[in-house]
Structure 1
Amino acid sequence: MTDNHSEIDPFSLIDEMADLLARHKLVPFFGAGLSRQHLGVAAAELAGEMAAEIGRASDTPLAEIADVFADERGQAAFIAFLNEKLVVAELDERKTPSHRLLVSLMQNLLYTTNQDNLFELTASRYGRHYRTVLTVDDLSESAPGEPLLIKFHGDTSVPDSLVFGARSYKKRMEAEDHPLDIKLRADLLGKRLLFLGYSLRDENVAKIFDTVKRAFKGTLPSSYLVAFDDDASLMATAREYQVKVIVPSRLFPVQPSNAEAFEHFLQVLCDETRKRQVERGTADLFSIGVINPHIATDYETQAVAHAIESEPFDTALDAFRVTFDQTHVPEHLQQKVTELFVSLVARAEPANAKDMDALSAALFNFRLPPASALTATAAVMAACNGRPATRGYDSYASLVCPALPDGLQPVAAAAAVAMLGERGEVITDNFRGLASSWFRGYENVPESVKEQVIAMIKTAWPGDKERQSPLHRSFPSVAHGKSFHEILEGLQEKLPKRLDNPTE
């Protein structure tokens, strides 16, 4: 919604922004509001803590108290204070939902006024590495197409780059053609800005608008602001700078808090952006370059859980795959996603080849850690107990989950036998026929689990059937003993090579 929301449909603005993001025509510019949940402080709290340390009034504005603190304690103490409050050693990804969604937007260029390191840690956790730009040297060293995080107000790692107190802000405003201003002007030729994490309660919001406006010699580029707060004064400020404002708490009033409405808005924006990116076309599997990962959110996980509980199997499977295929799942959600996959497998009809093939495809794209991959693989193996026998070669004999490390398929097969035992299912000949392949190489599993694996083989082939078990039969090796990953690497090596061209 904007200050004139009766005339402009806010959902049309979402479509507009998603289209721009999909074409890399909208540059995110984010502030302290995104980091408050993890850091526990925003401008007012930081000013209060700084004031308390030097015995000043707690309501002293941050820009003023920062200069007084540096004067009284020295620059080194000031930097040490900021590092203690803003630089995180251990990332708690449950407290950075907006940062994860920013990574999911797949943008190669982002600006921030934050001096914390939460975005860098979040992006790195999911294999998306951004070059941090603080100085002109950082710009000169960056490669064409390299993902960049422009820290517009500097970073404590380079004290001279900091724009924090009133003096440093004044110095920045007086600088003619600051390198980062020039960079911003160049980046926004034909593009627009998306401000995130600012509100009127952030004393910097007008300063940010003024700085960007000055960089463009008096005219702020067409911009959007997604606000935490529904504040009439903010609307007036936005109107002054011709910024379109969306207030997520108005769009999604059922959300319990402004922060959750803001996160939900970003999720909707990510979904719409991804849809348009797919519509614009996809590259082949072996395209050169790092693929920016989709990162699962709590909201998406809850939505999939609801689909598995209440929707037909086909719909539930689609919901799971669209959300989790080739997706990075935050650590705190990994157990839940694994359980959802097991629940999905339980809903399949083993005798229905379409259901089982769909599960096999989902397993192939399952990208959780080894323990979760083992559980998921075991669940699909156990479902095969209800499959009818097939003539000739059965493709399920080589069930593949790339997330499962080489050599652990026998362990997954043992877990499948244990699952069937817990359910009280009688093991079928068809399962045994497939498990003969799954248990191949059991003698090479880690010693810590070998005894349990052998025990499960004996359980699957009880009594007189034990003579037909992998314990008493030798099998010819497949592909000269090469693992799935070795075979895949060999295929990739045979593909034609080309120079890696830089991209925007």
Structure 2
Amino acid sequence: MVVIPEELITLAADKRLIPFLGAGFSDSLNLPTWESMLRALCTSIEGSLSFDELRQATGNDYLQIAEYLYLKCDRHIGPIRHQLERSLSSHISPLVSDPHLELANLGAPQIYTTNYDDLIEETYRRLALPVSVVVLPKHVALAHTDRTQIVKYHGDLQHEQTLVLTESAYYKRLDFESPMDLKFRSDLLGKSVLFMGYSFRDVNIRIVWFKLMEMMRDIPEADRRPSYIVRLESNAALEELYSAVGLKTVVLSPDGPVKDRADRARLLADFLLELSTRAGTRASGGQVIASGALLRAVETQIQETERIFSPFLGEPRLGGAGILGARDKYVGKLLSAVIPEPHVSATHQALEKAMPYLGMDDFVSIARRIPASRTLTENVVRMLAAGGHEEARSTKRRLVHSLSDWSKIWSCPVGSKTADFVLRAFAKEITYQSQQGADEDIAYLADLVARISQGDLVDGSKVDALRGEAAELLGIARLVYPSIGDLQPARDAPPQLSSVLQEVSQRATAFAPVELPRAALDSLRMKELRLNIDGREGVRARPQPAPRRRPSVARPS
């Protein structure tokens, strides 16, 4: 697990951290490397040496290779820029890159990059986040302070004259007299830099940081805070050298190198997720952006919750348990997150998995956001079927009055196990309410059983049998509450409760047992037993509720 320095978390929380990004930050997007671009350029320039010959002659120095090609083009940068533009042009959305999404969640006021592409600013635009790109000297003077500034430190492909591509152009920049350099020096006062996507041996960062520290010698020590470089693997010698110039190292993979691009991107995104979560930062406007990294963290949190709590929730797991929710660092973020298009489906699946462990308010919020699904319907059905105590009844009342789009709730049928549970609960409830007391649990169950009887609520090979069971149980229940026989629930309406609840209230006021025919009682016992047997595979035993007292009916709200 990555150890994030507390000072770095504080810097991020106080908006005093400047991300400075290199090419490795876009690893997951499979962009071409400098080598592949220079190799292609060598083959397109007449009279040029081959890339392999140039690499051998320059000691694999890409800046010198670019300088050679610049000279072969009569000192025109256009051909090199054109090759870069062709190589970097892609229809891949940066929203599939978790590091880019988590960068937005970091909420940094300024972001610096030596990359020439527009992936960072395009991420902000596609997320409808306010952004200002700083490339030209006039941009420095006119940069908006009320939006995230993306500072293209080595130029932008749209402005050919700004590109720092060759050895000569790079060394000219080392004078540190350009408006971009002066802006960097000014922005850094009282702040720290977080380098990401760079190699220890990347000449860009080594020299840029050295020259910058030289420029800031006259700055009071209190205004020169330590900065950080994020690296995949550890290198004790180089870490010591960087520490000497005020650059601390955060190692993402202390156990060894990570060669796969996807794994490198995952580690970087997980690091940024943890940093933004612990710092409490969000994207502009207070938004949280859902990413693959957040979804992985939520999945882990749900699995851990299931491992600990599922044995105590019984079968079926009751929605509205309130174990997870807005207070949890990852699930809480996802509950209020803006969902980019590439992650919509996965986000809905994660929210569905979290449903059984959410409190009522969070459950209703999710039910309104996600599309129709069997998981959603089954969770609602199980919550309505649960009973035996006042807390469950309160949950059911709130659920019925909070959900609005019931056509969505009823549009996906449940499985036979859930239907078995409903019928078993109804059989038990008829037995109890005929002999011992009256409460509103039976009204919710009767509505569900009527939906099963109509064939609207269940699918699968057992549909006909379940409909028959439901019809028979409704017939017996009518002997206790005659209005149950009139139930005809609609597929776009909430549970129809009023007539049954009225009869429940009357019986609770002056309770008298109803003697059911022996055949009906035997049928109820047989159904309870058989449904228990049919539905027991993979089912955890549900804890028995405390003995019921003589009921008092809660007034329907």
Common fold: TM-score over 0.5: yes
Structure 2: gaps spanning 5 or more residues: 311-321, 427-441, 460-466, 475-483, 496-557
Deviation at 1:215, TM superposition (A): 5.1
Q: How many residues align?
A: 420
Deviation at 1:184, TM superposition (A): 1.4
Aligned position for 2:209: 209
Structure 2 counterparts to residues 347-426 of structure 1, below 5 A: 348=356, 358-366=358-366, 370-371=370-371, 377-388=376-387, 390=393, 394-400=397-403, 409-415=406-412, 418-420=413-415, 423-425=418-420, 426=422
Q: 1:471 to 1:458 in 2, by over 3 A?
A: farther
1:293 alignment partner, SS class: coil
Q: 1:465 to 1:66 in 2, by over 3 A?
A: farther
Amino acid at match of 2:10: D
Alpha-carbon distance in 1 for matches of 2:101, 2:181: 27
1:312 alignment partner, SS class: helix
Q: 1:194–1:225: 8 Å Cα contact kept in structure 2?
A: yes
Structure 2 residue corresponding to 1:22, chosen from 13, 27, 50 = 13
Amino acid at match of 1:185: R
Aligned position for 1:134: 135
Alpha-carbon distance in 1 for matches of 2:398, 2:106: 37
Deviation at 1:186, TM superposition (A): 1.8
Identity among equivalent positions (%) equals 18
Structure 2 counterparts to residues 104-143 of structure 1, below 5 A: 104-143=105-144
Structure 2 residue corresponding to 1:83, chosen from 66, 82, 85 = 85
Amino acid at match of 2:30: L
Structure 2 counterparts to residues 9-158 of structure 1, below 5 A: 11=3, 14-54=5-45, 55-58=49-52, 59=55, 60-73=60-73, 74-91=76-93, 93-94=95-96, 96-158=97-159
Deviation at 1:150, TM superposition (A): 1.1
Amino acid at match of 2:50: R
| TM-score normalised by the chain length of structure 1 | 0.69
Matched, 1:227 2:218: no
- Deviation string, structure 1 residues 173-226 (Cα, Å, up to 9, x no partner): 3362x2222221221111111111111343423233245336536888632111
Q: 1:256 to 1:80 in 2, by over 3 A?
A: closer
Deviation at 1:432, TM superposition (A): 7.1
Alpha-carbon distance in 2 for matches of 1:19, 1:190: 13
Structure 1: gaps spanning 5 or more residues: 2-9, 283-288, 349-354, 401-406, 440-453, 476-504
- Deviation string, structure 1 residues 246-277 (Cα, Å, up to 9, x no partner): 22222x66989797477446635543543343
Alpha-carbon distance in 1 for matches of 2:354, 2:359: 9
Range with bigger deviation, 236-245 or 194-203: 236-245
> Superposition RMSD on alpha carbons, in Å?
4.3
Q: 1:35 to 1:268 in 2, by over 3 A?
A: closer
Q: 1:266 to 1:184 in 2, by over 3 A?
A: same
Deviation at 1:422, TM superposition (A): 6.9
Which of these two proteins has the greater Rg computed from alpha carbons? 2
| TM-score normalised by the chain length of structure 2 | 0.63
Alpha-carbon distance in 2 for matches of 1:86, 1:311: 48
Q: 1:241 to 1:411 in 2, by over 3 A?
A: same
Aligned position for 1:352: none
Q: 2:289–2:340: 8 Å Cα contact kept in structure 1?
A: no
Aligned position for 1:311: 308
Matched, 1:468 2:471: no
Q: 1:431 to 1:117 in 2, by over 3 A?
A: farther
2:253 alignment partner, SS class: helix
Alpha-carbon distance in 2 for matches of 1:391, 1:269: 40
Alpha-carbon distance in 2 for matches of 1:329, 1:376: 20
Q: 1:195 to 1:458 in 2, by over 3 A?
A: closer
Q: 1:53 to 1:410 in 2, by over 3 A?
A: same
Q: 1:29–1:112: 8 Å Cα contact kept in structure 2?
A: yes
Aligned position for 1:187: 187
Deviation at 1:152, TM superposition (A): 1.0
Structure 1 residue corresponding to 2:249, chosen from 245, 248, 262 = 245
Amino acid at match of 2:377: A
Range with bigger deviation, 137-146 or 29-38: 137-146
Q: 1:226 to 1:458 in 2, by over 3 A?
A: closer
Alpha-carbon distance in 2 for matches of 1:222, 1:201: 20
Q: 1:86–1:117: 8 Å Cα contact kept in structure 2?
A: no
Deviation at 1:336, TM superposition (A): 4.2
Alpha-carbon distance in 1 for matches of 2:363, 2:492: 30
- Deviation string, structure 1 residues 131-163 (Cα, Å, up to 9, x no partner): 111123323443332111111111101111211
Q: 2:112–2:150: 8 Å Cα contact kept in structure 1?
A: yes
Aligned position for 2:335: 325
